[in-house]
Chains A and B, each alone.
Chain A
C-alpha cells in the first residue's frame, strides 16, 4: 500500500542545484558560439553552427533544468521513490553534461569520435534517467492528471532520444544516412512538442493555479492535451514517413492546440487572485505570449511561399526555444531555487536544537532579490526582441548574441548568489556561539 507514498523530504540540495547551475553555463556557450559565428550560424537550420547551438540550448539548458527539477519533484510531489538520489543525480548530470559537449563539438567538426561519444554518453545519461523515472511512475498508484501527463512527456523524451541516437549513429558512420532528413524532422518535432512543450503543460497545470491562485485549467484540457498532442504528432510522423496526403493538416492542428494552451494560460494569469507580481510571473507571461506567436507564425510558415517560409520558420523556432521554453524555465528557476535553499536551511536549523530559536533565516525574497531578477527579465526581453529583429536584419545578430551572453551571465550570477548565500547561512548556523561544536543534535 505504501508503494506510491513517500512523503520524505527532498533529496540533498546539491542534486538539483548542480543541474540548475550548469544550465546558464551552456547558455553562455550557446550565446558565445552565436557571437563567434555571426549571421552564418542561422543561415540554414542544417548548418553545423545551428545544430550545435540548438543542442547546447535544448540539452544543456532546457533538458538540464528539467531533469534536475524532475529528480527533485517526483519523489516529493508524485511519490516516485528514487533510490540513491545522489548517485543518480551525479551520474545523470555528468553524462548529460559531457554528452552535450561531445555532441556540440561533433557538429562543429570534431569528427565521428565525438558523435560516438555523444551517443554513448547521452544514451546512458538520459536513458538511465528515463528508466528510473519510468519505473517509478509505473508504480504510482494514484492516477492523477499530472501523473498521466508526466508519463506522456517522458515518452516524448524517450522517442526524441531514440531518434537522436539513430541520427547520432548516422553521423558516426555507423547508421542510416539515407533516412537522415525525415528522421531529423521527426526528432525535432517530438523533442520540441512531445518533450519540452508537453512537460511545460504538465507543470503549468499544476503550478499556475496553485502558486498564482488562478482558476484551474479546464479538466478536458488537462485530460486530453497530452494524448491529443501525441495523436497529432503520430499522425504527422506517419504522414511524413509514408507520404500520405494532408501531411500539413496535423501541423496546423498542432499550432492550434498550442495557441489555445497559451491563450488559456494568459487568460488564467490575468484572473489570478494574488496581486503581488514578480519576475517569475513576467517570465511565464512572456513565455506564453511567445508560444502563441510561435504557433501563429509557424502556421503561417506552412502556408507561405517557400522563400518566406524559411524566414517565418526561423522566427517561429527562435520564439519557441528562447521566447517560450527558456522564459518558462527561467521563471521556474526563480521559484524553485530560493525555495529549496530556504527549505534546506530550515531543515538544517531544525536539527540544531541549541540555536534553533536564536537564528532568523533569510526569506525567499532576500535570497534572490527582486531587483536582480527583474533586471535579468528586462535583459532577457531585450535579447529576444533584438534576436527576432535580426531575422530580417542579420547585422543585428551579433548585438543580439551579446545581449544573450549578458542574459545568461546574469541568470547564472543570480542563481550562484542564492547558492553562496546557502553556504554562508550554513556556516552561520554551524558556527553560532551557542552551537554545540561539531555535533548536530541528531533528532
Chain B
C-alpha cells in the first residue's frame, strides 16, 4: 500500500525528469528549465515525505535508526547535490554539461529507487501495516 503510492510517485518524478532531459537534448533550454524546475520540486517533495513522514515512523517502530534509513538519507543528500549541479548547468546555459550530468543523476536515482521499492517499502508495509492508512493520508496531503 505504502509501496504502491511511493513507487507511483517515483514514476511521476521520472516522467518529469525525462521531459527536462528530452528538451535539453533538443537544445530547447527554456522548456528544459521549466520542466527541470517541475522535476526538482516533485523530487524534493518525495524526498521530504520520506524523511519527515515515513522514515521517522519506521525508525520508531523498528528501532533501526542507523540502519537502512540512514543509508537512504545519505543517498538523498547525494541526489540533492546532483540536482543542484544540474540546475546550475541549465542556468549557465551549458546544455552539454547538463546532459553529461543527467545520466549520472538518472542512474543514481534509479538504483536508489530500486533499493526502496525492492526492500525498504515492502519492509515498511509489513512493519507499519496498522498505521498504513494514516500515513498514506499524511503523504497524500503533504
- Measured CB to CB, the residues of A under 8 A from B are 1-2, 4-5, 7-9, 76-79, 142, 144, 146, 206, 210-211, 213, 273-276, 278, 335, 339, 342-343, 346, 360, 363-366
Contact = CB atoms under 8 A, between A and B. Distances in A.
Contact of B119 (A5, A360, A364, A366): A5
Interface stretch (B15-23, B34-42, B44-52, B130-138): B15-23
Nearest to A370: B100
Interface of B: 14-15, 18, 21-22, 25-26, 62, 64, 67-68, 71-72, 78, 85, 99-104, 106-108, 110-111, 113-115, 118-120, 122-123, 127
17 contacts: A2-B67, A7-B72, A8-B71, A77-B111, A210-B113, A211-B106, A211-B107, A213-B14, A274-B106, A275-B26, A276-B25, A276-B102, A342-B104, A360-B85, A363-B101, A364-B100, A365-B99
B107 A335 contact: yes
A76 B25 contact: no
B10 to A, nearest CB: 10
Contacts of A274: 18, 21-22, 106
B25 A275 contact: yes
A392 to B, nearest CB: 41
Given A339-B108, A363-B104, 5 more contacts: A5-B120, A210-B113, A213-B14, A213-B18, A365-B103
A287 B112 CA distance: 27
A130 to B, nearest CB: 22
B73 to A, nearest CB: 11
A275 B21 contact: yes
A142 to B, nearest CB: 5
A278 B120 CA distance: 31
Closest 5 CB pairs of A and B: A365-B100, A7-B68, A7-B71, A275-B22, A364-B104
A10 B62 CA distance: 24
Contacts of B67: 2, 5, 7
Nearest to B113: A210
A213 B11 CA distance: 9
Contact of B103 (A77, A210, A273, A363): A363
B71 A77 contact: no
A342 B25 CA distance: 23
A136 to B, nearest CB: 14
Among A5, A273, A363: residue with most chain B CB under 10 A = A363
B102 to A, nearest CB: 7
A7 B107 contact: no
Given A5-B119, A142-B122, A363-B104, A206 B71 contact: no
Contacts of B106: 211, 274
Nearest to B22: A275
B21 A276 contact: yes
A160 B11 CA distance: 39
A199 to B, nearest CB: 17
Contacts of A276: 21-22, 25, 99, 102-103
